[in-house]
Chains A and B, each alone.
Chain A
Amino acid sequence: MSGATCFVDYAWMVPFFPFFAFILISLFTVRNRSLSAFISITAIILSTVYASAILYQRLLDVHEPAVIREITWLTAGTVEFPIGILVNNLSAAMLCMVSFIALIIQIYSTSYMENEEETGFCRYFAFMSLFAASMLGLVISPNFFQIYIFWELVGLCSYLLIGFWYNRPAAASAARKAFIVTRFGDTGFLIGIIMLYMMTHSFSFDAIPALIESYRINPGMIWSIIPGQYLSPDSTISLVTFLIFCGAIGKSALFPLHVWLPDAMEGPTPVSALIHAATMVAAGVYMVAQTYDIFRTSPQTLLIIAHIGGITAFMAATMALAQNDIKLVLAYSTMSHLGIMTLALGMGALAAGTFHLMTHAFFKALLFLCAGSVIFALHTNNIWEMGNLRKSMRVTGATFLIGALALAGIPPFSGFWSKDEIIAVVFASPHLLLKILACLTVFITSFYIFRVYFVAFFSKDRYDITPHEYPVMTVPLIILAIISTVGGFVATPWNNGFAAFLSTDPACEGQSVSYLLPSVIVLLISLFAIGTAYSLYAKDPAHYEELLRLRYKAIYSILTGRYWIDDFWNSIVRVVVAFLSTAASFIDSRIIDGLLVNGSAHLADEAGKYLRFEESGSVQHYAVIIIISIVIILLAVGIIHGFFATELLYGALMR
């Protein structure tokens, strides 16, 4: 075993290969397209192989404890900042998934981005490598300090890649918006990490749950929000875990910090596939899953998490209904599924939520890549400018159908197995609101995705160019489609291999009692939705779309206005920015420039103007000033040393 354990110890090599590729590309091969792509893809292949090896090793030692190696990197007084690696079953699976999907998408990108000029192309691969490195580093982080570092790095890569076509103002502002909105969440995250450290004096994931329990019994550090009233240990724990969850709210685009995700579609489609569907947005969910024992200490936070997830899932699904841009539909769909994953985690179904994360990554990446293929062929994102693509782009049409079926949760595709576990857990819980939201979401999900399918791939064509498919693009599509088809079988209700793999203790999987009934209900709802979509959109979609919009005008305007949450955040930001900039400019121009700089110059000027009259040239004048000065000094010294006062007490002054 010792030989095998050795290579798992070097798990940090997995993010290292793409990072090294980033350095190489950005320093040396910025002008050479094929070399840059070659370096980037080679690095990610190496990472995939290594990650697979690690996964295989973990499969062999399923019941071995996690491999954690940490060293202290920085110390500041008594605070130690550790870095290291964490290889448990969850992180091994995630490493494999992330590197594999990154590989597929990079291969696809060589064809999608071929019209870019050199520096753009190489820059793209550099950033892709950096992103892969950051995400893989995030996955193997064993403590909050390191995960925060990679969290920010991933956010940076997202900024760089969304704003890839930086000459476009829409892309630039979308990148900025993504960065700033996730910053809000990250601020909460940071405060949570700091408070957690102050409570437990540790950053490490494995040490903290026990330390929280000891904090609950014997709190060393207490806070108060209202002066005079201190928070109880339970409230503090809930607050801290919620703050940590704030990071996930921002990064995983959950309500209310979801506003950046639709705008992020300004980036190239492979970027949307990789970052905003499969990996980065999953980072928030992954973090919650990895640190789940910490969240288990606070049931209130878990409840909040579940509700935020449910609300996001429903809201996003409704907004997807009203979109005409294929990428936006998929973006809202991602948001909705992230909500579902969060819901699962809030309900306690750790394995279910994580499994859905894995399956969703594959079929969502597949859907995005199909969309990319269509966009590349037709040069438009608008579904009303597409049609009948299943005849002209066969592979894309077929794989998109597979992806849509997986999304809608139809067996035997992977989405069915993962989503139904979650639905079963929700139905087994006492929350009525969540059950209703879940059912509605299932209907709307199937409806919107098949709306897109029927409008874009069925009916008549509404374009005049002949679309072509390209093998470099279609092969990745096929690979992903195969995985979406068979991947679900690792976690069937009868033999939940994934859950068993994930945890050595059974967690809350005992809720899979009434698996059958919810599955059937949900399946029926989905099929009904698909049927509705078919009847409306398969033959004459434009007509029915018009009809629906006119009929449900109010709802439609709410949906296209995105529930006005965007406007809410915009107005807040505008007020804050306006205030801060006014204050800053006032201070800069009036106080610093006016008072300090100009004022001191003016003072010197005026002083000079008046003091120069003292230069009379007359020595006697100077002598008078000297005498006066002597008098003043004598008086001052005398008074300070109490000379005059004490001598007054003597009385007799003259002899």
Chain B
Amino acid sequence: MTGINHYLVLSLILFSIGVFGVLTRRSAIGILLSLELMLNAVNINLVAFSHFLESITGHIFAIFLIAVAAAESCVGLAIIICVYRTFKDIRADNINLLKW
């Protein structure tokens, strides 16, 4: 019998992996991928609560979240392309003009 705790733990693990990726990945696209992981973890969380609390609002929120995530990855990728054109490089630790 899977209770809410199972889904919460799944969501948490997925989120943590996503955070690790965001912090560690050198490529900007890699960071975006990890970001998607985080967003999906949140979605799982929302839908789990929606299921266990008998409320449909969680589903709606998740729908919106998917839409927003799509928009955001669209714009993010556009920015990455732009950066690529400027620096010829998308490694996050090489784009460091604000260094000391």
Beta-carbon contact of A618 and B93 below 8 Å? yes
List CB contacts (< 8 Å) of A606-650 with chain B.
612-613, 615-620, 623-624, 627
Q: Mark B1-19, 1 if CB is under 8 A from A, else 0.
A: 0010100000000000001
Beta-carbon contact of B96 and A618 below 8 Å? yes
Beta-carbon contact of A617 and B5 below 8 Å? no
Bound complex: CA of A230 vs CA of B92, how far in Å? 81
A-B pair count, CB < 8 Å, reads 32
Smallest Cβ distance from B26 to chain A, in angstroms?
A: 9
B22 within 8 A of A: yes
With known contacts A612-B100, A613-B100, A620–B5 Cβ distance under 8 A? no
B-side contacts of A624, CB under 8 Å: 23
List CB contacts (< 8 Å) of B69-90 with chain A.
none
A655 within 8 A of B: yes
B67 within 8 A of A: no
Beta-carbon contact of A618 and B92 below 8 Å? yes
Beta-carbon contact of B99 and A615 below 8 Å? yes
Smallest Cβ distance from B73 to chain A, in angstroms?
A: 17
Beta-carbon contact of A616 and B3 below 8 Å? no
A-side contacts of B96, CB under 8 Å: 616-618
Beta-carbon contact of A617 and B23 below 8 Å? no
Smallest Cβ distance from A612 to chain B, in angstroms?
A: 5
B-side contacts of A655, CB under 8 Å: 3, 5
With both beta carbons as reference points, the residue of chain B lying nearest to A655 in the complex is identified as B5
Beta-carbon contact of B23 and A615 below 8 Å? no
A583 within 8 A of B: no
The residue from B93, B98, B99, B100 contacting A620, defined by CB atoms under 8 A apart = B93
B-side contacts of A654, CB under 8 Å: 5
Q: Mark A247-283, 1 if CB is under 8 A from B, else 0.
A: 0000000000000000000000000000000000000
Bound complex: CA of A627 vs CA of B5, how far in Å? 24
List CB contacts (< 8 Å) of B41-100 with chain A.
92-93, 96-100
Smallest Cβ distance from A631 to chain B, in angstroms?
A: 11
Beta-carbon contact of A617 and B92 below 8 Å? no
B-side contacts of A619, CB under 8 Å: 92
With known contacts A615-B98, A615-B100, A627-B19, A620–B3 Cβ distance under 8 A? no
Beta-carbon contact of B24 and A616 below 8 Å? no
Most-contacted residue by chain B among A616, A623, A627, A655 (CB, 10 A) = A655
Bound complex: CA of A111 vs CA of B97, how far in Å? 89
Bound complex: CA of A120 vs CA of B98, how far in Å? 73
B-side contacts of A612, CB under 8 Å: 100
Beta-carbon contact of A623 and B22 below 8 Å? yes
- Could you list 12 A-B pairs, sorted by A, with CB under 8 Å? A613-B100, A615-B98, A616-B96, A616-B100, A617-B98, A620-B23, A620-B92, A620-B93, A627-B23, A654-B5, A655-B3, A655-B5
User: Residues of B with Cβ closer than 8 Å to A?
Assistant: 3, 5, 19, 22-24, 31, 92-93, 96-100
User: Residues of A with Cβ closer than 8 Å to B?
Assistant: 612-613, 615-620, 623-624, 627, 654-655
Given contacts A616-B100, A620-B31, A620-B92, 4 further A-B contacts (CB under 8 A): A618-B92, A618-B96, A627-B19, A654-B5
